[in-house]
Structure 1
Amino acid sequence: MSHHVHDRMTALQAKEYAQQLAFAPIAFQAARSMLQLNLLAELDQAGKQGLSAGQLAEKAGLAEYAVKVVLDMGLSCHIVTYQAPHYRLAKVGYFLLHDDMTQVNMAFTDDVCYRAMSHLTTSLQESRPAGLQELGDWLTIYEGLSVLPEPARRSWFEFDHYYSDKAFPELLRLVFTQPPRHLIDIGANTGRWAAQCCNYDEQVQVTMVDLPQQLVLAMQNMQAQGFAERVTAHPANLLEANSQLPTAGDVWWMSQFLDCFSPMQIWNILRSVYAAMPDNALVYILEMFWDCQKFSAASYSLNATSLYFTCLANGNSRFYRSTEMLELAAEAGFVLVEQIDDIGVGHTLLKLRKA
């Protein structure tokens, strides 16, 4: 976080960056259009030779005006280069076209967040997801995940799964070093982690805890993959005071789950877990903490995604600092056994036990 301590920009650099922010939504949509109209793909295929505006217009079925006006913005965004009369793909354009993380992030931003973000000020003032009205009539996005309109639904799940899936191989090795017999998966979502565990260990039993409507989909997935006999569903809304958790389980798992709640809600959930779990059980919390990232672009992405939580998800959660999560865990009665950073694409695994 040291690069956030001092303002190292000159006045000219700061003013230039301010102008880039002023037009950032237009730059984003220009980049999306270049991708969707296959302009970047055509330039990629053309290689160092490049293509003229006329050649691109013919290949893309566009007017030459359309090609020039959007690609000239691409010049300003370092997406393409130009040496008359040819445009060529630049490095930024290459990553927009070929980098799967960039593609997943852009689709999530465009399909899920873009229109909703016009309500961000209201969300910040009222502590509610005011932008969610752009997708449906729910109090939180989690109530509507299974019925989100397309393409928002596809982009939401691709975004969620991309980051968790990258971490699975190392996580399975870490969690099953001492194989659990019964794993409680809190916030099971579609059941991907439960299925990974069952596939990795033929003996493990899994209990999935989530909202009732989400568990319907998760159990369908377990049935389809042949794990229904080893996986059970435990419906619960952990925000409700009378919500009950299972009382067995030697490993309690929460992956990309606690970031969906406010600090007080996290504390209450951890206290509920503490009260329900056996004294010798372990708790694993998998999260992406913006202060644990090696690259500034990763911290930038996480802080931006925190505003998705503000405006769309629930109005009161975010990607936290690791220190905040550890303080909440300690206040709930847990001690840190181990912290492992840099798992997958920037995940941190916290291993906890009762104090």
Structure 2
Amino acid sequence: MTDSSALRDKKFSPQKQSAFDARFEAQKLAFGPVVFHCVHYAWKRGVLQALADAGEQGLSTEQLHSQGGWSHYALVVSLESCLSAGVVYLREGRWVLDKMGYCVLTDRITQVNFNFVHDVCYQGLFDLGRSLDAQQPLGLPHLGAWETIYQGLSTLPEPARTSWFEFDHHYSDTSFPDVLPDVFATAPRKLMDIGANTGKFSLAALRYDAQVQLNLVDLPQQLALAQSTLEQADLAQRAQFHPRDMLDDASALPTGMDLVWMSQFLSCFGEAQIASIFKRVAAALAPNGQVLILDTLWDRQRYDIAAYCLINTSPYFTAMASGNSRVYQASDYVRLAEQAGLRLLTLRDGIGYCHSLMRLTKA
């Protein structure tokens, strides 16, 4: 296991930031929500694309207005805000798209994060303070009347549903091809996928190994999506489906598992719930069985950009998802696993965009 102390000791601001610069950064923070919406407008309404099409010569406000689709007023207000954020710049009276603007237009991870914050999180985050105090997702009613967002994933209103799944899959799908050799390194015959979601991992695993038997665990409504995924691929005959609410401490798991897989799952729960899950996972293992956890651990990131995105995903878990979960550090999982009689064997970083893979066994 690599020592992550250097990764944890992060400081996202420049080491020699002046008081004046710090004050400017503080104003960016204060007006951040305003800028967010102005950039979102300019992106979604095609203003940024029009500037991209114009290239380095740019376009004046009058030239943009003549294209139709935006009032003169809307262009001035949104573009001046974009200017303040470095999304565009002014040259001889013409608006020109800057590097950050090209990121918004072309960088997939920027777009996925933007849509997730706007469509899923933004309105509910107004209730973040109350959610933190109550440890309940009090912003969730903006999307639907569920106790947690996981109960409503299959019926989320659009565009929140699309943005949620694109966010979830964009981070996890890039990792699956890399980890399948790890999954089958011990030649497991009985594999359990806890938090099966739409069944993407189970589908990949069944295609990778023709002998493996999959046991999928999730809420009934999510499990129905996973079952449909496997049935469409004609692979459901090697799968068993176990509806479970993992928030129920008394909800036991099927036993005799050679391998238990959890991908971006434990971050959906608070520490007490994770401890309970680990105990039930340990009880589900066959002799010499192992546990694989694929997750986004903010302290294991090589680059600050990844740690920044992950840290600031935690408030979504608070206000919108469950009220008491977050993006964890590696040491949190190790500590909770040890309490359940599990010990860490290996920890591999640098998977996909920002994932780490933990392998555990019974102590």
Which range moves more in the overlay, 160-169 or 290-299? 290-299
Instruction: Report the alpha carbon displacement of residue 129 of structure 1 after superposing the two structures with TM.
Output: 0.5
Matched, 1:3 2:7: no
Find the residue that maps to 2:236 and give its secondary structure: coil
Residue 270 (structure 2) aligns with: 262
For structure 2, the residue ranges without an aligned partner over 5 or more in a row are 1-7
Find the residue that maps to 1:82 and give its secondary structure: strand
Matched, 1:56 2:74: no
User: Would the aligned equivalents of 1:261 and 1:317 in 2 still touch at CA under 8 Å?
Assistant: yes
Provide the C-alpha distance between the structure 1 equivalents of 2:148 and 2:16, rounded to a whole number of angstroms. 39
Q: CA RMSD in A?
A: 1.4
Q: Which amino acid aligns with 1:90?
A: D
User: Would the aligned equivalents of 1:185 and 1:207 in 2 still touch at CA under 8 Å?
Assistant: yes
Which range moves more in the overlay, 230-239 or 344-353? 230-239
User: Would the aligned equivalents of 1:211 and 1:237 in 2 still touch at CA under 8 Å?
Assistant: yes
User: Would the aligned equivalents of 1:38 and 1:60 in 2 still touch at CA under 8 Å?
Assistant: no
Residue 136 (structure 2) aligns with: 128
Find the residue that maps to 2:346 and give its secondary structure: strand
Residue 3 (structure 2) aligns with: none
Find the residue that maps to 1:280 and give its secondary structure: strand
Residue 79 (structure 1) aligns with: 87
Once the two structures are superposed, what CA deviation does each residue of 1:311-349 show, in whole Å capped at 9, x if it has no partner? 010110100111111111111111111100010011010
Residue 292 (structure 1) aligns with: 300
For structure 1, the residue ranges without an aligned partner over 5 or more in a row are none
Instruction: Report the alpha carbon displacement of residue 61 of structure 1 after superposing the two structures with TM.
Output: 2.2
Provide the C-alpha distance between the structure 2 equivalents of 1:285 and 1:105, rounded to a whole number of angstroms. 23
Find the residue that maps to 1:55 and give its secondary structure: helix
User: Would the aligned equivalents of 2:257 and 2:284 in 1 still touch at CA under 8 Å?
Assistant: no
User: Would the aligned equivalents of 2:298 and 2:311 in 1 still touch at CA under 8 Å?
Assistant: yes
Find the residue that maps to 1:234 and give its secondary structure: strand
Matched, 1:335 2:314: no
Residue 14 (structure 1) aligns with: 22
Q: Which amino acid aligns with 1:211?
A: L
1:1-355 residue pairs with structure 2 within 5 A? 1-4=8-11, 8-355=16-363
Alignment CA distance shift 1:5-1:39 (3 Å): closer
Provide the C-alpha distance between the structure 1 equivalents of 2:84 and 2:114, rounded to a whole number of angstroms. 19
Instruction: Report the alpha carbon displacement of residue 177 of structure 1 after superposing the two structures with TM.
Output: 3.0
Once the two structures are superposed, what CA deviation does each residue of 1:229-279 show, in whole Å capped at 9, x if it has no partner? 111101111221321201122110000000011111111100111112112
Alignment CA distance shift 1:5-1:109 (3 Å): closer
Alignment CA distance shift 1:22-1:5 (3 Å): closer
- Percent identity, please: 45
**What count of residue pairs does the alignment treat as equivalent?**
355
Provide the C-alpha distance between the structure 1 equivalents of 2:270 and 2:74, rounded to a whole number of angstroms. 46
Residue 5 (structure 2) aligns with: none
Find the residue that maps to 1:130 and give its secondary structure: coil
Provide the C-alpha distance between the structure 1 equivalents of 2:202 and 2:164, rounded to a whole number of angstroms. 20
Provide the C-alpha distance between the structure 1 equivalents of 2:273 and 2:157, rounded to a whole number of angstroms. 28
Provide the C-alpha distance between the structure 2 equivalents of 1:62 and 1:154, rounded to a whole number of angstroms. 26
User: Would the aligned equivalents of 1:283 and 1:353 in 2 still touch at CA under 8 Å?
Assistant: yes
Provide the C-alpha distance between the structure 2 equivalents of 1:205 and 1:276, rounded to a whole number of angstroms. 15
Provide the C-alpha distance between the structure 1 equivalents of 2:11 and 2:335, rounded to a whole number of angstroms. 22
- TM score, norm. by length of structure 2: 0.95
User: Would the aligned equivalents of 1:289 and 1:348 in 2 still touch at CA under 8 Å?
Assistant: yes
Once the two structures are superposed, what CA deviation does each residue of 1:186-207 show, in whole Å capped at 9, x if it has no partner? 1111111000111222222111
Provide the C-alpha distance between the structure 1 equivalents of 2:12 and 2:232, rounded to a whole number of angstroms. 51
Instruction: Report the alpha carbon displacement of residue 282 of structure 1 after superposing the two structures with TM.
Output: 0.9
User: Would the aligned equivalents of 1:37 and 1:60 in 2 still touch at CA under 8 Å?
Assistant: no
Find the residue that maps to 1:209 and give its secondary structure: strand
Once the two structures are superposed, what CA deviation does each residue of 1:9-36 show, in whole Å capped at 9, x if it has no partner? 3221221111111110011001110111
Instruction: Report the alpha carbon displacement of residue 68 of structure 1 after superposing the two structures with TM.
Output: 2.0
User: Would the aligned equivalents of 1:39 and 1:60 in 2 still touch at CA under 8 Å?
Assistant: no
